[in-house]
Structure 1
Amino acid sequence: MSLPAKVMRDGQLEKRSSGLLQLWKKKRCVLTDEGLRLHDCKGGGGGGGGDGDASGSAWSAKAKELRFERMATVDCVEYKRGLVYFTVVMATGKEIDFRCPQDGTAWNAEIALALVRYKNLQAVRTGRNRQMFKAHLGSTGEDEEL
C-alpha cells in the first residue's frame, strides 16, 4: 500500500485552455510530492466560504494530474500587470500555460523546486539500484584487487 502524497501547497491558479479561444480558467491546484492536481471550478458563485476545505462545493472532485515523472521542466516566466505567467513542459513536448498573482511565493518557483526534488530523488534511487546490481553481479570476487 502506498502512502498518500504529501500536500506542499493548495490554492488557485489560472490555466489557459487548449481550445480555439484559449481562455483562462480558474483551477484549484494541489501541489504534492508526486505532481500537480488540477480541479475544475464548478458553478458561477465566487470562491467565498471554504478556503480549500474538502466539503467546498465550488470545486469538482474530478482532477487532472500532472505527475512529475511526466514533466520535463517549468519554463517561460514572465511578469505582467501583477501576474506571473509560466509554462509547464511535459516530457512529450506538450506545453501547459498558467498564471497566478505575483504576490507571495510564486507557484512557478514551488512547482520547479518540487520537480527538481523529485528528479533528484529518482536519480539517487537509480544510482543505488545500479550499485546494488553491480554488487550482486560482482560478488564472485573476480574484479576485486587487494
Structure 2
Amino acid sequence: MRGPGEVLREGELEKRSDSLLQVWKKKRGVLTTDRLRLFPTGPGARPKELRFHSILKVDCVERTGKYVYFTIVTTDRKEIDFRCAGESRWNASITLALIDFQNRRALQDFRSRRERAIEAPTAPPC
C-alpha cells in the first residue's frame, strides 16, 4: 500500500494556458497518491497543485502522431487541457492514481459510516 504523498511519477508534460492565445507551456509534473503538482520552467515560480479530491475525471483523450491530448475535469466543471509525448502515457498514470485515490476515499467513507452505525444506540424492540 502506498503512503500519502508518495511520488508515483515525475516528468514533462504541457498545459494549455487559459489566455486568449492558448499556448502550450512545458511543466514538470510530479504525480503523487493524492495530487498532481505542476512546476513551471522558470526559476522562483510556485508550483500549482491539482488535488485529487477536486478532480472529477480525466477525459477527452486523443492521440495524434506525436502527442496524447487529455483534459482534467474538476468538481466545479473546470476543464484543464494537457498534452504529453505519446509514449509517456501521463494520461494513464493520472487516471490510475485518481481511481486509486477515489477507491481509498470510498473505502474510508464506508468504514466511517459502519463505525457510526455500530456506535449509534439502537432503539429497544417493541
- Structure showing greater Rg: 1
Aligned equivalents of 1:4 and 1:111: distance in 2? 15
Aligned match of 1:117: 100
1:60–1:77 distance in 2 versus 1, CA, 3 Å: farther
RMSD: 1.7
Output the TM-score relative to the length of structure 2.
Answer: 0.91
What is the CA-CA distance between 1:142 and the residue it aligns to?
3.8
Output the TM-score relative to the length of structure 1.
Answer: 0.79
What is the CA-CA distance between 1:65 and the residue it aligns to?
0.3
What is the CA-CA distance between 1:14 and the residue it aligns to?
0.4
What is the CA-CA distance between 1:10 and the residue it aligns to?
0.3
1:98–1:12 distance in 2 versus 1, CA, 3 Å: same
Structure 2 counterparts to residues 1-146 of structure 1, below 5 A: 5-42=5-42, 60=44, 62-104=46-88, 106-138=89-121, 140=122, 142=124
4+ aligned runs moved over 4 Å, structure 1: none
- Unpaired runs of at least 5, structure 1: 43-58
Aligned equivalents of 2:86 and 2:106: distance in 1? 32
Counterpart of 1:74, as a letter, is: V
Identity %: 47
